[in-house]
Amino acid sequence: MFLFRLLAAAVVAIVLIPSLAMAASPSWLRVRDAAMTWRERGNPQNAYALVAQHRGATAAEEVDRNFVAGFLALRALGQNEVAIGHFKSMAIATAGLRSSEDPAALRAMAGYWLGRTLQVMGKGEEARTLYTTAAMYRNTFYGLLAASQAGLADTTSAIAAVAPNYPRPELFWHDPRMNKDLVLAIIKTESNFRSQIVSSAGAMGDMQIMPGTVRAISRKTGVPLDPRLVASNRNYNVAVGSHYFAEMLTQYSGNVTLAAAAYNAGPGASNDWIRRFGDPRGTAIDIVDWIELIPFRETRGYVKKIVATYVSYLAISAVAQNGKP
């Protein structure tokens, strides 16, 4: 139950109402956004119809389309058997994914949602079998969730076995609200420790800090910050980035999921999603559902990666401190 506790601690805009004719659009992303708008406006039947009659142009689109259809059937319509069919189709479609499309994470996702649907249907043993299969992908968000749902033994050693893939360089930061494992998880997700990288949008260094964020921190703290050092000096970058993420943690009561969403998309966006979908810190909405309702594909993936990578770093640290799994 070690990972369950860790995960629990971490956990995690359409202007016009579209018409059903949108299903004929060649763009799956337009169809997806339109369907989620229907769901949000209280018409999950139309949302499901949009998705069900569309056909993805690629394996990745079919994986996502079947997920959305299954999610709507299960969580919005209560049609469990229909959801099972879509999640099975999702699992089958993962066979056509390229390695760059993260098939392991998506297979774990399909297995988790199959297990969750079976659990809702009262089929506990079948659900546990699916969760156990999904938990084979222990270093993914849904693999970790599945492991905890299956009640598997402590998986610290399983995660620590891949420790060479999780660098632990010595870093400097001064904000006590941030622990090293969380800082490392952010850096691995943001830049994979490529200190000199600058994104096409202008995000800089290990923690991929935007120039506007540097200016905002300077205004709030009254401390002049040098964007050139943010871009060129690792410790300077990490100090600034960890301070900003810590501010997000404070704003969201220590919730890593919400802080990660805000770090990636901005606190304005995160606050908007809380207003629209409910606050996952309480009982208004399940935190996994909240993540899947994030409208931005990049942010959905980012939040999952932050949580999974953070849990992995925590497990690796636990092994290092105890000297054994």
| pLDDT tens by residue, 118-140 | 999 999 999 999 999 999 998 89
Pick the CATH number of 158-325 from 3.40.640.10, 1.10.530.10, 2.60.370.10, 1.10.1060.10: 1.10.530.10
Q: Which amino acid is at 257?
A: T
Q: For position 156, what pLDDT does the model report? A: 66
Model confidence pLDDT, tens digit, residues 54-75: 999 999 999 999 999 999 999 9
* Full-model pTM: 0.89
Rounded-to-integer distance, Cα 159 and Cα 153, Å:
12
List where CATH 1.10.530.10 sits in the chain. 158-325
Task: List helix spans (H) across 59-179.
Answer: 59-71, 80-93, 103-120, 124-134, 141-149, 156-160
Q: Identify the burial level of 24 via C-beta atoms within 10 angstroms of its C-beta, where 0-12 means exposed, 13-18 middle and 19 or more buried.
A: exposed
Q: For position 18, what pLDDT does the model report? A: 36
What are the residue ranges in the chain where pLDDT is below 50?
1-25
Q: For position 80, what pLDDT does the model report? A: 99
Give me the active site residues, please: 190
CB atoms within 10 A of CB 198: 13
Pick the CATH number of 1-154 from 1.25.40.10, 2.30.110.10, 1.50.10.20, 3.50.50.60: 1.25.40.10
In this structure, are residues 196 and 205 in contact, taking their beta carbons and an 8 Å threshold? yes
DSSP 152: P
User: Among 224, 301, 232, which residue's Cα sits nearest to residue 260?
Assistant: 301
Rounded-to-integer distance, Cα 89 and Cα 86, Å:
5
List where CATH 1.25.40.10 sits in the chain. 1-154
Query: How many CA atoms does the CB half-sphere of 25 hold within 13 Å?
Result: 17
Q: For position 318, what pLDDT does the model report? A: 86
